[in-house]
Structures are given as structure tokens and as C-alpha cells.
Amino acid sequence: MANSQRYTREIPRRYRLEGQRFVSGNVYLPMRYIDPETGERKFDPIRLSGKGTILSFTEIHIPADTYAREAPFAVAIIETDEGARLTAQVVDCNFEDIKIGSKVELIFRKIMEEGNSGILNYGYKAILV
């Protein structure tokens, strides 16, 4: 039950790519209650464009059991155009096409099914643009 409650809490950032902008201008996804750089606590939710740039990436050949059927796959650290940094799977391309500095778009996809409950978890994955 705890996992389905967590999933419900995460719907805004998973379904709408909703992050937050602190008064300092720093943008985060996932959301934080305190800006780790400034200690600021005042922020506004913002909708992210879903466009960004790959900062780093790796290929996963031996994943956790949950993702075993998808291996091998690529995962990247992406900085959105708004400045938020996040980790996402890069899909629908060859590994050779993924480069640091590549432009990506975050798209809505099925991420996994949750154990015996059968809850489908959706979220974002990245495609090269």
C-alpha cells in the first residue's frame, strides 16, 4: 500500500512534469522543500517544457529485476531548459547516437508495473531530438 500512496503523491511531476522555482531562480525536479544552494524555503510550482540537454549518460546491462526485460538500456542525467536536473531512460535510439550535449525531449511513457497490485506506473523517458 505504501508504494501506491507514494505513486499518487508523485503524479504532478510524473504526469505534468511539474517542478519548482525558488525565489533564487533555482529550479528542481523532483521537488524539494528547501533550496540546497541558498536555504530558501519560498518557491512556486512551474510546468517544465520537457526539453533539455544530456549532461552525462551510461548504458545499463545488468539492471534491477524490475527492469531485466528492458536491458540493455541507456540512462542519462538531463538538464531541462529551465535548469532542473533529472535522471531518465533514453529510448527509441541506438546507443551510438547518444552524446553529451544531445538535445532531448521528455515524453510520457509506461515505466513499470507494480508487483502484485498491478498498478501501472507512468512517467517520463527521453528521446533524442
Residue 64 reports pLDDT greater than 80: yes
Q: What does the pLDDT read at residue 21?
A: 96
Residue 9 reports pLDDT greater than 50: yes
Q: Which carries the bigger pLDDT value, residue 14 or residue 54?
A: 54
Q: What does the pLDDT read at residue 17?
A: 86
CATH of the domain at 111: 2.40.50.840
Q: Give CA–CA dist 119/115, Å, rounded.
A: 8
Q: Give CA–CA dist 88/14, Å, rounded.
A: 11
HEC secondary structure over 79-128: EECCCCEEEEEECCCCHHHCCCCCEEEEEEEEEEEECCCCEEEEEEEEEE
**Which pTM was predicted?**
0.82
Q: Which carries the bigger pLDDT value, residue 35 or residue 16?
A: 35
Peptide bond into 30 cis (omega under 30): yes
Count of other CB atoms within 10 angstroms of residue 93: 14
**What's the structural domain count of the chain?**
1
pLDDT band at 68 (very low <50, low <70, confident <90, very high): confident
- Partners of 74 in beta bridges: 59, 90
Q: Give CA–CA dist 128/114, Å, rounded.
A: 28
pLDDT tens by residue, 99-114:
999 999 999 888 877 7
Q: What single-letter DSSP state applies at residue 72?
A: S
Among 14-18, 27-31, 33-37, 62-66, the least confident range: 14-18
Name every residue whose Cβ is closer than 8 Å to that of residue 26 and which is 6 or more positions away in sequence: 35, 37, 38, 40, 83
Range of the domain at 28: 2-128
High-pLDDT (> 90) share of the chain, %: 63
pLDDT tens by residue, 78-104:
999 999 999 999 999 999 999 999 999
Three cell numbers at 76?
Answer: 542519462
